[in-house]
Amino acid sequence: MLIMKIFIRIFIVFIFMLSLLIGQRAEARYAAIVIDADSGDVLHSINANTRNYPASLTKMMTLYLLFEALDQGHVELNQQMTVSRNATQARPSKLGLRRGERITIQDAIEALIAKSANDIAVVVAEELSGSVQAFAKAMTKRARKLGMRHTTFRNPHGLPNRGHLSSARDMAVLSRFLIKDFPHYYNYFATKKFKFRGRDYKNHNKLLEFYTGADGIKTGYTKAAGYNLAASAERNGNRIIAVVFGGKTAKFRDLHVRKLLDKGFAKLSIEEGSRNDYPAKDNAAKTYFAEKQEYNKNTLLKSKTSLPPFKNSWPEEFVKKFDPVQTSTPNLENRTTDVAKLITPVVRASIGKPRTWMIQIGAYVQIAAAVRQAIYAAEKLSALGKDYEVTIMTGKSNARSVYRARLSGLNKKGAIEACSQLKKHKFDCFPMSPQM
C-alpha cells in the first residue's frame, strides 16, 4: 500500500512537471529577421532559426501551392470550390460558409489574405489534395524544396498543433519565393479590403496603410504563437522582407516591423563604401582567396576604420587596374586571370559554401577597398598567432557589384574571438558559419 502511494505521488509530480514544460513550449518566443528580397542577404537576425508556431503565416504556403496549381493549369481563378462539413468546423477567423456552399478560387485567395479565413484554407486543401492531411504533407514537402529546414506543417491554416512549427527565417524564405515565383499573383497581398456577399473584410496587415512602400505579405495570431507578421516593402527599387514571431500585441508587432524595415533599408545603403551584411545564397558565387600582402595607402578608399602604417606597396600594375578613384566598379568576373597574376602567391576560385567559419569585415563597391580592409584586419589579428586567408566574395546589391571582405580558415571559437578583437579597433565584424 505504501509503495502504491509513493508511486501515485511520483506520477502526480511527473504530470505536473510535464504540464509546465508544455505550458512553456506554448508561450510565444520572440524572433525576427530582415532580408534583402533581391539577394537574400540577411540584414538583421534574432532567434531566426527558433522553431515556433507560425499561426496564420501558414496560409502563405497554402497560397503558394494554390498559385502553383493555377500556373500549372490544374485549377482556374473562376473555378468554384465546394465547402465540406470539415471546413465548416474550422475555428475562427472564418467566413462562416455552410456545408455545400461554393466559393471561387479568386475569392478564396482574397479571403485567405484579408480575412485569414481558416474554413477557406480547409476548402483549398481539400480541393487540391483531397484532404487536409494530404495537403499538409504536400506543404511540408514543398517547404523542404524551398530550403525551409525548420518547418513542418500539420494543417493549411495554422491553428494550434504541437507538431505544426516553423521559424522566422523559413517564413522569410517563403515570402521571398512567393514574390519571386508569383509576381503576377503577389498584388493580392496588397488587398486592403475584401468584399464578399455584400460584406467588407479589412486586411489585418495595417502596414499597408501607414508604411510607405509596404505591399504585403501576411499576419498571424494565436495565443500560443503571439502576434506574427511577415511584411515586405519596396522603395527606390529596393525590396526588404521582415518577419517577426511572438509579438506581445498587434500594435507592438506592427510598430516593431516598421522599425525593422527602416533598419533594413538603411543597411542596404552602401554609399559610404561599407555595409555589414550577410552573403547572398548563390551557389554560383565566385570567391577569391589571397594570402597576406603589403600594400600602398594610395590604393585605399575612405573608411571609418583608421588607416594602418604601410611598409611596401602592391605591384604598380594592380594599383592601375583597381584605382580607387575610378567612377565605375571593376568587373571581377572578367578579371579573374589578372587578379590571379597580381595577388601572390595563390588565387583560386571556389564555388559553393565555405567549409570553415569565416568573419566578414564589410562590403565595398570597389575591390581595392575590400582587399585593403581584409588585409588590414588580418594584420590586427596577427597578435593571436593565427594564419588567415583573405577572402573577397563578389555579389550583387541594388544591381551594383559588391565585394565582401572576409577572413576564412577559422573554427567557431576563433571566429568569435577574432570579431571580438577587431571590434576593439572599431571594425564592423560578424562571424559566419559554413551553413550561412
Q: Which residues are catalytic?
A: 56, 59, 116
Cβ atoms of residues 76 and 102 within 8 Å: no
Cβ atoms of residues 116 and 204 within 8 Å: yes
C-alpha cell at 143: 517547404
Beta strands at 42-46 and 389-397: parallel, antiparallel or unpaired: unpaired
Pick from 91, 138, 428: which is nearest to 276 by CA? Answer: 428
- Neighbour count for residue 401 (Cβ, 10 Å): 18
Q: Residue 291, SS3? A: coil
- Neighbour count for residue 281 (Cβ, 10 Å): 15
Q: What is residue 298's DSSP assignment?
A: G
Quickly tell me which residue has 576593439 as its cell. 424
* Dist. CA 290–CA 390, nearest whole Å: 5
Cβ atoms of residues 376 and 386 within 8 Å: no
C-alpha cell at 235: 522603395
Q: Answer positive or negative: Cα dihedral of 140, 146, 148, 149.
A: positive
Quickly tell me which residue has 528580397 as its cell. 37
217 Cβ neighbours under 8 A, 6+ residues apart: 60, 175, 178, 179, 189, 205, 230, 231, 232, 241
Residues 250, 187, 168, CA angle at the centre, nearest 5°? Answer: 45
Q: CA-CA distances (angstroms) from residue 199 to 115, 122, 195?
A: 11, 21, 5
CA torsion angle 169 155 249 245 (round to 10): -10
Pick from 195, 223, 197, 215: which is nearest to 25 by CA? Answer: 223
Pick from 91, 35, 101: which is nearest to 241 by CA? Answer: 35
- Neighbour count for residue 132 (Cβ, 10 Å): 20
In 236-381, DSSP assigns E strands to: 238-247, 286-290, 349-351, 357-364
